[in-house]
Amino acid sequence: SSDPLSTSEYIHIPSLVHHGIEGKTLLLSVETHFPLDKAEIQGTWSHTSPSGARVTLVTFNEGSAIVDMMYRDRLIFREPNVSLIIKGLNPDDEGDYQLNLNIKFRNKTGLVFKEERTVHVTVDVPVSIPVIEKSPSYAVVEDKANVTWTCSVERGTRVAFLWLRDNIVLGHNGRYHFSLDNSTLFISPVKKEDKGIYQCVAINPVSYSRKSRAVELTVYYGPYNLEVNSGQGLRTGEVFTINPGELVFFECQADSNPPNSYVWISKSHNDTQVITEGPRLEVRSYRLAQAEEYLCRAFNNVTQKQDEAQFTLVVASLGTAVITVCSLFIIGCMLLFFIIFTCHPKRGLSNCFVCDMTTHVSTGHEDATEDFGIYEFVSIPGKMESTQASCRSLARLESVQDMHTTIYDVIRHVPEMQSHSLLK
């Protein structure tokens, strides 16, 4: 059963493909499946480079070996062990290594077995630090330019490349195009979010990853997110309410590279006029209850894009101002409502609030001039037939501001003749 002739394979090479590393040692291991002490052997190891050049490295028999002169320092061969060791691998060592072995068993006279094996060897070179390049080298304008990044290594085999922006690995997106080996990244078109610090990484199976130096991509963009802000005043949406005579600063801000230039424009009626330039506007206004329209316009002179934000400035005593304005508006509406529906010509004048008011006047005192002042309208439920509203003079109230009850108005002038005619 241990008859060596019964095996068809006298030698075995565990691995027919080897990836060596430059500078390291490679063992082309051969297992012999016959008793070395009962056989005579004779053979060669030879090397065929990828270009086809063939060299016999070792010629050997069971007792001696001759190593090619050129390889004497680098090859280790210890007959009758037919494994071959190559030291200090270099890229020129790549190629096919062929073992030819003739075996003659001493007890089988005359019979020679020929074995032939080929081992393929590649030599991987560790990667050097990659070199990153950007084209164009200058800053670019978003939406208008493309940028090409290239990564190269001076040394290194089977190199894979990766791209980082601000230390985050870049993957495919609609605007990022990678070459097949990833050594080129083409960004088209460039956007604001592409700005940042770029690095490329080179890696292969026999090295740690190597990072290039960092290169910044500057992108001109904007303006974006234009905003007008003020530390003072009361803001309601796009309306700023400020106190009369108060000095108020407005700040215009937008995200932009390079920084925007700003102009402030005042809009009144159809007339627009540039008030000032720069990010800050200073306003002091005494013109009560007048709404003024302003505009901040931001312009990026590199991207040639601009944006503007409009806002309204109302000068009023803060706090009561908003309530007053709203109240006055409601009064106006209600007055109109009463006049149209209560003082209808077909109904008696006694149903009209004016009548009711004058009734009060006539019962109290005759001089109408004393009744100039503020009147409050109080609706009285259940008295809809006789009176729609009773009027109460508020002429002697000290402060208008203190009056938070229903609705009031200021009567500045009552023509006497008219009130008399209304009485009739």
Ligand X SMILES: *[C@@H]1O[C@H](CO)[C@@H](O)[C@H](O)[C@H]1NC(C)=O
Strand-strand pairing, 131-135 and 147-152: antiparallel
Binding part of the chain for ligand X, among 79-87, 104-112, 121-129, 287-295 by CB under 6 A, reads: 79-87
Residues 6+ apart with CB under 8 A from 160: 181, 182, 202, 203, 204
Q: Are 283 and 256 in contact (CB under 8 A)?
A: no
Q: Does 239 bind ligand X (CB under 6 A)?
A: no
Q: Does 419 bind ligand X (CB under 6 A)?
A: no
342: helix, coil or strand?
A: helix
Residue of 226, 142, 152, 234 whose CA lies nearest to 189? 142
- In angstroms, give the least distance from the CB of 145 to ligand X: 5
Q: Does 188 bind ligand X (CB under 6 A)?
A: yes
DSSP bridge pairs for 311: 294
Distances (CA, A) of 396 to 63, 355, 361, 369, 370: 135, 21, 15, 13, 10
Q: Does 318 bind ligand X (CB under 6 A)?
A: no
Which C-beta is closer to ligand X: that of 145 or that of 164?
145
Which C-beta is closer to ligand X: that of 2 or that of 109?
2
Which C-beta is closer to ligand X: that of 301 or that of 350?
301
Residue 91's φ and ψ, nearest 5 degrees, are -55, -25
Q: Does 270 bind ligand X (CB under 6 A)?
A: yes
Lay out the site mask for ligand X across 27-56 (x = CB under 6 A, - = otherwise): x-----------------------------
Residue of 166, 157, 162 whose CA lies nearest to 176? 162
DSSP bridge pairs for 261: 299
Number of Cα atoms under 13 Å in the Cβ half of residue 306: 11
- In angstroms, give the least distance from the CB of 291 to ligand X: 14
Lay out the site mask for ligand X across 126-145 (x = CB under 6 A, - = otherwise): -------------------x
Q: Does 172 bind ligand X (CB under 6 A)?
A: no
- In angstroms, give the least distance from the CB of 29 to ligand X: 6
DSSP-assigned states of every residue in 3-62: -GGG-S-SEE-S-SEEEEETTS-EEE--EE-S-GGGEEEEEEEEEE-TT--EEEEEEEES
Tokens of 339: 């006049």
DSSP bridge pairs for 257: 221
- In angstroms, give the least distance from the CB of 118 to ligand X: 19
Candidates 61, 102, 261, 312: give the one binding ligand X (CB under 6 A).
Answer: 261
Helix residue ranges per DSSP H, 47-204: none
Residue of 135, 102, 123 whose CA lies nearest to 11? 102
Q: Does 269 bind ligand X (CB under 6 A)?
A: yes
Q: Does 225 bind ligand X (CB under 6 A)?
A: no
- In angstroms, give the least distance from the CB of 86 to ligand X: 12
Q: Does 418 bind ligand X (CB under 6 A)?
A: no
- In angstroms, give the least distance from the CB of 52 to ligand X: 29
Lay out the site mask for ligand X across 283-312 (x = CB under 6 A, - = otherwise): ------------------xx----------
- In angstroms, give the least distance from the CB of 232 to ligand X: 27
Q: Does 83 bind ligand X (CB under 6 A)?
A: yes
Q: Does 81 bind ligand X (CB under 6 A)?
A: yes
- In angstroms, give the least distance from the CB of 301 to ligand X: 4
Interface ranges with ligand X (CB under 6 A): 27, 81, 83, 85, 145-146, 188, 261, 269-270, 301-302
